Amino acid sequence: MPPRPLVAGNWKMNGLRANAAEVEKLKRLMAGHGALPCDVLICPPATLVSTVAAAAQGSAILVGGQDCHPKVSGAHTGDVSAAMFADLGCSHIIVGHSERRADHGETSALVAAKAAAVHAAGLAAIICVGETEAERDAGQTLKVVGEQVAQSLPAGALPGNTTIAYEPVWAIGTGRTPTEAEVAEVHGFIRDALHKRFGAAGGEVRILYGGSVKPANAKALMAVNNVDGALVGGASLKADDFWGIIGAYLG
Ligand code: PEP
């Protein structure tokens, strides 16, 4: 059986307390529909986790972090640990987003250490992988993604606490998306890697697609083989847009 889909929103460095109104709105939209056939997650900036968690209370909306430090606590000014996100009621933490790999020089080894910290805190890690445009043009997509998957999953990763997000770097925030055949190729390749690592249980790991997912293209992208949901940036900021993407799973 394919995994239950997940539609995850990454607010990035956007949002103030007033944006909790969008969460309240999403909650109303979800309440009007009843039980959903997918999980819904919002990952706001760390400053808003408590606010969003409070706004989401009484709904099925899950709340997560966008990054964490590999250590539990200590002298790491400005960083936030996985245990701290767990303490706020988070269920997931994104690690290895391409913006962190690019802006902060994060290597796959560091991403694996962060994912291990997420697991140690009892949370699920959403591990991001994806090629740059130059890497795709050079025919390196599967090589790059294969290396990122192999090196970013920590030794203790389990199908139940690990989600992969395939996000072509050139599709993030650009309005451009790969073709459905290109998405199918990479997701199938990741699925094979997960089967090699976890055996039959590799089929239980969610593989999200991320990169310019919008209400208009969500249904087609979510229908691609081995796509088990979406990681959504810009279109997760407005409840109506995010709900439109969740709509891909509402028939
Ligand atoms: C992201 O940052 O994870 C993302 C997919 O962004 P966008 O949806 O805006 O392309």
Give residue-wise pLDDT tens across range 11-21.
999 999 999 99
Is 236 a pocket residue for ligand 1 (Cβ < 6 Å)?
A: no
Beta strands 6-10 and 124-129, pairing class:
unpaired
Question: How far from each other are the two terminal CA atoms of the chain, in whole angstroms?
Answer: 19
Q: Residue 58 — left, alpha, or beta (φ > 0 → left; ψ -120 to 50 → alpha)?
A: left
Number of Cβ within 10 Å of residue 124's Cβ equals 22
Q: What is the mean pLDDT of the chain?
A: 97
pLDDT surpasses 90 at 251: no
* 173 within a domain of the structure (yes/no): yes
* 168 within a domain of the structure (yes/no): yes
Is 168 a pocket residue for ligand 1 (Cβ < 6 Å)?
A: no
* 45 within a domain of the structure (yes/no): no
Query: Residue for token digits 């309440």?
Result: 31
Instruction: Calculate how far, in angstroms, residue 27's C-alpha sits from the geometric centre of ligand 1.
Output: 22
Is 212 a pocket residue for ligand 1 (Cβ < 6 Å)?
A: yes
Residues 215-241, mean pLDDT to the nearest whole number = 98
Q: Which pLDDT band holds residue 1 (cuts at 50, 70, 90)?
A: confident
For residue 180, the model assigns a pLDDT of: 98
Of all atoms in ligand 1, which is nearest to the CA of residue 94?
A: 3
* 102 within a domain of the structure (yes/no): yes
For residue 77, the model assigns a pLDDT of: 98
Residues 160-184, mean pLDDT to the nearest whole number = 97
* Segment 82-96, tens digit of pLDDT: 999 999 999 999 999
Q: Which pLDDT band holds residue 34 (cuts at 50, 70, 90)?
A: confident
Contact 164, 145 (CB under 8 A): no
For residue 166, the model assigns a pLDDT of: 98
* Segment 47-82, tens digit of pLDDT: 999 999 999 999 999 999 999 999 999 999 999 999
* 60 within a domain of the structure (yes/no): no
* 44 within a domain of the structure (yes/no): no
Is 244 a pocket residue for ligand 1 (Cβ < 6 Å)?
A: no
Number of domains in the chain: 1
User: In this structure, what CATH number is given to the domain that contains residue 214?
Assistant: 3.20.20.70
Residue 77 belongs to domain spanning = 6-13+65-230+242-249
Query: Residue for token digits 């709900």?
Result: 243
pLDDT surpasses 90 at 173: yes
Tell me the percentage of the chain whose pLDDT exceeds 90.
98
Instruction: Calculate how far, in angstroms, residue 74's C-alpha sits from the geometric centre of ligand 1.
Output: 31
* 41 within a domain of the structure (yes/no): no
* 34 within a domain of the structure (yes/no): no
Is 177 a pocket residue for ligand 1 (Cβ < 6 Å)?
A: no
Of all atoms in ligand 1, which is nearest to the CA of residue 214?
A: 8
Residues 9-34, mean pLDDT to the nearest whole number = 97
- Catalytic machinery residues: 97, 167
For residue 161, the model assigns a pLDDT of: 97
